[in-house]
Amino acid sequence: MTSTPAQTVLVTGASGFVGTALTERLRTDPRFRVRAASRRQISPGDGVQVVAASDLGSSADLSGTVSGVDVVVHLAARVHVMVDRSGDPLSEFRKANTAGTASLARQAAAAGARRFVYLSSIKVNGEETAPDRPFSERDHPRPTDAYGISKYEAELELRDVARETGMGVVVIRPPLIYGPGVKANFRRMMGWLQMGVPLPFGAIQNRRSLVSLDNLVDLVITAVSHARAANETFLAGDGEDLSTPELLRRLGLALGTPARLIPVPAPLVKLGLGMIGQKEAAQRLCGWLQTDISRARDVLNWRPPIGVDEGLRKVATDFLTHRS
């Protein structure tokens, strides 16, 4: 009986938050050989071929990067930021996230790649959901900011590439991702809890989906290898939605520091945050955003391998270890 040869998987953005974790998981799986593309110099471990990726724009010649690759997992992107100081944010996002993605996909298909897994964003669906009406893959996309629009346009380009070349494309749209090494607002939130700062979120009644890094990486690897994943779109999530107070309380437990929550009405929280230029943060803390992950379950037989509390424990342990 002959064994199936290992697939060569190219991971772009391999030095990033998701890319680092994904590369580590892939390199320990005998089904895969890993090629890591990164702008930064990295040391990803034994068995990983590192290639430079100084430019993934539409005019870049990536023939050497994609040569001999069976599957591309495209994580590299111009990422969403709270305050974008570019004179034309949409144009900049389109260059990197739309044109760059399409170019990489076409060159990968020409080189013989069989599958292209694209990490998109739940922002393609929109910014918020009605209470207990989660987003699904069947919803008409309604991106509202430059980042979300560029990601949606990249998905459309990838559909064209799949239709023209026969290369299977898989799109994954995650909500907020947390895990060891998380930055930005999630890390600041852990800092507030650790310092015992009273937080005015005790009266918020919402539900939001998150996805732990472990669960997202597991879904990506499933999308790489599962026969039925080709030309599908999947929403990611932990399978349990939390209100902002629930998240803070359970994260506080993981940190060993009880959350100090003050029951300020949501309209006042939104007003206060808006007055200090944090309107988007107010929407995230007070609004609803739920994802329906049943399609991944039904098509791929996928279940999140870890629960929310284990995910929070892992991120809290990492934060406490590296906070200095």
Place of tokens 């305050």: 83
**pTM listed for this prediction:** 0.94
Which of 118, 147, 152, 178 is the catalytic position? Answer: 147
For residues 285 and 208, give the distance between their C-alpha atoms in angstroms, rounded to a whole number.
9
How high is the pLDDT of residue 85?
61
Name the band, by pLDDT with cuts 50, 70 and 90, for residue 52: confident
Q: How far is CA 231 from CA 157, 168, 234, 299, 300, in A?
A: 13, 5, 10, 12, 13
Residue percentage of the chain with pLDDT more than 90: 82
Highest mean pLDDT among 36-45, 84-93, 201-210: 201-210
User: For 151-208, how does the pLDDT look when each residue is reduced to its tens digit (9 = 90+)?
Assistant: 999 999 999 999 999 999 999 999 999 999 999 899 999 999 999 999 999 999 999 9
The domains of the chain, with CATH numbers, are 7-173 (3.40.50.720)
Of the two residues 98 and 84, the one the predictor is more confident about is: 98
pLDDT above 70 as % of the chain: 93
pLDDT of residue 246: 98
pLDDT tens profile 299-314: 999 999 999 999 999 9
Beta-strand (E) ranges in 136-201?
168-173, 176-178
Q: Which of 225, 124, 240 is nearest to 170 (CA)?
A: 225
Burial profile 268-305: b = 16 or more Cβ within 10 angstroms, e = fewer: ebbeebeeeebebbbbbbbbbbbbbbebbeeebebebe
* Rounded Cα gap, residues 320 and 309, in angstroms: 16
Token digits of residue 61: 């010649």
Look at the chain and count its residues.
324
Q: Are 174 and 182 in contact (CB under 8 A)?
A: no
Report pLDDT for 82: 47
- 43 φ/ψ sector (left φ>0, alpha ψ -120 to 50, else beta): beta
147 is catalytic: yes
Comparing 146 with 63, the larger pLDDT belongs to 146
3-state helix, strand, coil in the chain (%, to 5): 45, 15, 40
